[in-house]
Amino acid sequence: MKLITWNTQWGCGLDGRVNLKRIVSEARAMVDFDVLCLQEIACGFETMPGHPGDQPAQLQALLPGYTVFFGAAVDEFDAQGQRQRFGNLIATRLPVASVQHHPLPWPADAGVRSMPRMCTEVTVTDPRLGAVRIMTTHLEFYSARQRMAQAQALRALHMQACEQAAAQPLADHSHSPFQSKTHTRHAILCGDFNFEPGAPEYATIQQPFRPIVPVIPAQAATNIAADHLQDAWPLVLGQTPHAPTFRLFDRTYGPEPITCDYVFVSQSLVPRVQTLSVNLNSRASDHQPLWIELV
């Protein structure tokens, strides 16, 4: 499986032009991706720079053979009744078993600029890996309190999914909403997390866990304890410092380049990680894209 993650800044490049065709073209030049995870995708925000338009529809047109899933963290209406949405998108050419959109916590933080955040999860079936939960997200930039709550929630979502995989619900062949689901320990969590390596949130997402459901079998509980997420960077590049993914060319939000975009993988996928790379040349957004290959 080849996956790209990229905060696109609604396709707004450092030249000030909004151009999703450029985003897709540069992504294709990086790798023949099976999954494309994009953050900061807009729909209806016509007063934003570049007048982005209906970007989920634009991306579907630019990606024939892929299915596009858009998860809006912000979904609201302006004074004229125009619907405005902003969030994350996953496009994949792999078979899809299920889609979920998870709102993330948004605790009060008085006097701090913020907006709702969410995680889009698409369970795909890869020919080699089997079922894999692809999760993409974009955490709060301005509020450390909200960002930590969101990191804790992402860890909890992964833990819950692992518990479901270890202790499967009752099989159901009713062809109703209760019908049996695809549950898997395999997970890839990627996106713009707005924290640097060594930050408390970085450690929180990767913290090993204990099962929170007391009724699962003891052996399942033992297995779950080893299912936590891990940053894929050191798996491939060891002690090499993370490559910068933000403020490499544009210093609007700070004086120095930093890393805040990551790919985390479940322990079950750690042996399958083969390649991880950051595109340090692109200027199609204010973030740099990453791609990972698992075999």
pLDDT digits (tens, 9 = 90+) for 25-37: 999 999 999 999 9
Q: What is the pLDDT of residue 252?
A: 87
Q: 270-276 long-range CB contacts below 8 Å, 24 or more apart?
A: 270/230, 270/235, 272/128, 272/129, 273/232, 273/235, 273/236, 274/236, 275/236, 276/232, 276/233, 276/235, 276/236, 276/237
Q: What is the pLDDT of residue 251?
A: 85
pLDDT digits (tens, 9 = 90+) for 189-211: 999 999 999 999 999 999 997 75
Q: What are phi and psi of 26, to 5 degrees?
A: -70, -35
List the chain pLDDT tens, one digit each, 295 residues: 999 999 999 999 999 999 999 999 999 999 999 999 999 999 999 999 999 999 999 999 999 999 999 999 999 999 999 999 999 999 999 999 999 999 999 999 999 999 999 999 999 999 999 999 999 999 999 999 999 999 999 999 999 999 999 999 999 999 999 999 999 999 999 999 999 999 999 999 999 977 555 555 655 555 566 799 999 999 999 999 999 999 999 888 889 999 999 999 999 999 999 999 999 999 999 999 999 999 9
Q: What is the pLDDT of residue 221?
A: 55
Which domains, and CATH codes, for the chain?
2-169+181-294 (3.60.10.10)
Q: What is the pLDDT of residue 110?
A: 98
Q: What share of the chain is helix, strand, coil (3-state, %, to 5)?
A: 25, 30, 45
Measured distance CA(60)–CA(26) in Å, rounded? 16
Q: What is the DSSP secondary structure assignment for residue 258, as one 8-state letter?
A: B
- pTM of the model as a whole: 0.95
Q: Which amino acid is at 272?
A: R
- Contact criterion met (CB below 8 Å) for 54 and 44: yes
- The token pair at 109 is 């933080």
Q: What is the pLDDT of residue 254?
A: 87
Please identify which residue in the block is written with the tokens 């403020």: 247
Residue 119, H or E segment: strand 118-126
Q: What is the dihedral of CA 41, 46, 50, 56, to 10 degrees?
A: 30
Cβ burial, residue 253 (10 Å; 0-12/13-18/19+):
exposed
The whole-angstrom distance between residue 66's C-alpha and the CA centroid of its chain comes to 17
